Amino acid sequence: MALRRRPLLLLLLVFPMLRYQILAVELISTNVNPVVQEFQRVELSCIIASTKTADPRIEWKKIGNKETSYVYFKNKLQGDWAHRAQLLSRTSLVIYNVTRADKAVYRCEVAAHEDTRIGAEISINLTVHVKPVAPKCRVPQSVPVGKSATLHCQEKEGFPEPTYNWYRNSEMLPLDSKSSSKFQNSSFKVDTKTGLLVFSEVQKGDSGRYSCRAMNAVGDAWCDDMEMEVYDLNIAAIVGGILVVIGVLSLTTVGICCAYRKGLFVNNKQNGNSYKTPAKPDGVNYIRTDEEGDFRHKSSFVI
Ligand SMILES: *[C@@H]1O[C@H](CO)[C@@H](O)[C@H](O)[C@H]1NC(C)=O
Ligand SMILES: *[C@@H]1O[C@H](CO)[C@@H](O)[C@H](O)[C@H]1NC(C)=O
Ligand SMILES: *[C@@H]1O[C@H](CO)[C@@H](O)[C@H](O)[C@H]1NC(C)=O
């Protein structure tokens, strides 16, 4: 018997690989790429398929971009994981109320207790989806007909990155105005990736209340709708015309006013001059003319 066992022992020394295989821990996972919505529960599945040891050593690590930290170590959940997670069926890790900060690769490591060199590990890549929040929108208040205009919409919390749609008076705009007969008279394009709504030439019919919706796999959110007014250049001309009329009217009023004052002044002067009239016969005619003028002014004013 002893003789027979010797070759096997020798074999174990010569081929350590064989020994590893005999004592190997085998791990499997039902899902190595779990995707979970923020604030929900997720199970990082790590299952011992086979092991020769009755008392394996189990560890969970979070592999961050900068540092690796222990989640489960020395049979204990570390730090705040103690309040947020639990081990399920001995090796799987359940995280309650996942947050976006939990997005990472987690490594489940199981070793045979007697010899820590013998073990297995499995990496779980956890993806956390985040609902978009209300996007920030920028809409120009008023644009003249024929000019270009750009409306902005952006959201930065959502994951995966949201796509955008624009709405006018609660009606969704097509990505290209030319693609719809209803918007044939408009000239705009919507970029669902950048959230830009660009009008190359704003038309009167483009006035309205604009709002944008950011949407991803787990939710959507809107910005408050905002008014964009398109003013006609004809209206501008009318307004200009009105201003000119007002200007002319006020100038006329000022003119009448001055003339009236001048007239009064002339009246006084006339009274003063009447004493002098005998001395300067020429002045009589002059004053008479003025008097006539004054009279005309007065009469026109009355009319
Ligand atoms: C989940 O976590 C968030 C942020 O840490 C917290 O505000 C929220 O109250 C938690 N929800 C539950 C049900 O524990
Ligand atoms: C984890 O999964 C995401 C989404 O599938 C992928 O983009 C990323 O590269 C993966 N990370 C690793 C370390 O495998
Ligand atoms: C587009 O403009 C034309 C001419 O101004 C008008 O007759 C037509 O009704 C407009 N179409 C729409 C959809 O508003």
**DSSP letters spanning 217-252:** TTEEEEPPPEEEEEE-HHHHHHHHHHHHHHHHHHHH
Listed residue (119, 110, 126, 145) closest to 229, CA to CA: 145
Q: How many angstroms separate the CA atoms of 166 and 149, rounded?
A: 14
> Which is it for the CA torsion 190, 194, 200, 206, positive or negative?
positive
Assess whether 70 and 116 both reside in one domain. Answer: yes
CATH number of the structural domain spanning residue 79 = 2.60.40.10
In a domain? residue 300:
no
The C-alpha atoms of residue 193 and residue 154 are separated, in whole angstroms, by: 10
Q: Which residues contact 118 (CB under 8 A, 6 or more apart)?
A: 20, 23, 24, 25, 111, 112
* Domain boundary, last residue among 129, 156, 188: 129
**What is the C-alpha separation between 210 and 225, in angstroms, rounded?**
5
Q: Does the beta carbon of 127 sit less than 6 angstroms from any atom of ligand 2?
A: yes
Output the pLDDT for position 65. 84
Residue with tokens 């019919």: 205
Q: What pLDDT is stored for residue 285 in this prediction?
A: 44
User: What pLDDT is attached to residue 231?
Assistant: 92
Angle, vertex CA 198, rays to CA 193 and CA 204, nearest 5? 145
Residue 93 lies in a domain: yes
Give the number of other Cβ atoms within 10 Å of residue 32's Cβ.
16
* Rounded Cα gap, residues 241 and 217, in angstroms: 55
211, 135 contact by CB (below 8 A): no
**What is the tally of structural domains in the chain?**
2
The amino acid at 15: F
**What are the backbone dihedrals phi and psi of residue 144, each rounded to the nearest 5 degrees, phi first?**
-75, 150
27 CA from centroid of ligand 3 (Å)? 68
CA 101 to ligand 2 center in whole angstroms:
15
> Which residue, 70, 105, 129, sits at the end of a domain?
129
15 bridge partner residues: none
Q: Which pLDDT score, from 0 to 100, does residue 297 have?
A: 42
Q: For atom 13 of ligand 3, which residue has the closest CA?
A: 182
175, two tokens? 């990505």
Tell me the residue range of the domain where 62 lies: 23-129
Q: Which residue has the CA at smallest separation from atom 12 of ligand 2?
A: 125
Mutate to test the pocket of ligand 2, among 61, 127, 128 (most ligand atoms within 8 A of CB): 127
Identify the three-state secondary structure at position 34: coil
Together in a domain, 155 and 195: yes
Q: In this structure, is residue 299 part of a structural domain? A: no
Whether residue 120 sits in one domain with residue 32: yes
In a domain, 294, yes or no: no
Same domain flag for 29 and 125: yes
Is there a contact between 226 and 151 (Cβ–Cβ < 8 Å)? no
Given a contact cutoff of 8 angstroms between Cβ atoms, the answer to whether 166 and 149 are in contact is: no
pTM of the model as a whole? 0.69
Residues 33 and 119 grouped into a single domain: yes
The preferred substitution site among 86, 97, 131 for testing ligand 1, maximizing ligand atoms within 8 Å of CB, is: 97
Q: Which atom of ligand 3 is nearest to the CA of 182?
A: 13
Residue type at position 87: L
CB distance 78 to 69 below 8 Å: yes
Q: pLDDT of the chain along its 303 residues, tens only?
A: 444 444 444 444 445 444 444 457 889 999 999 999 999 999 999 999 887 777 889 999 999 888 999 999 999 999 999 999 999 999 999 999 999 999 999 999 998 876 667 789 999 999 999 999 999 999 999 999 999 999 999 999 999 999 999 999 999 999 999 999 999 999 999 999 999 999 999 999 999 999 999 999 999 999 999 999 999 877 667 777 788 888 888 888 877 777 666 665 555 544 544 444 444 444 444 444 444 444 444 444 444
In whole angstroms, what is the distance from residue 77 CA to residue 72 CA?
4
Residues paired with residue 159 on neighbouring β-strands, in sequence order? 130
Pair 12, 21: CB distance under 8 Å: no
Only one residue has tokens 């200007």, namely 247
Residue 11 confidence (pLDDT):
45
Q: Domain check: are 124 and 187 in the same one?
A: no
Distance 40 CA to ligand 1 centre (A): 9
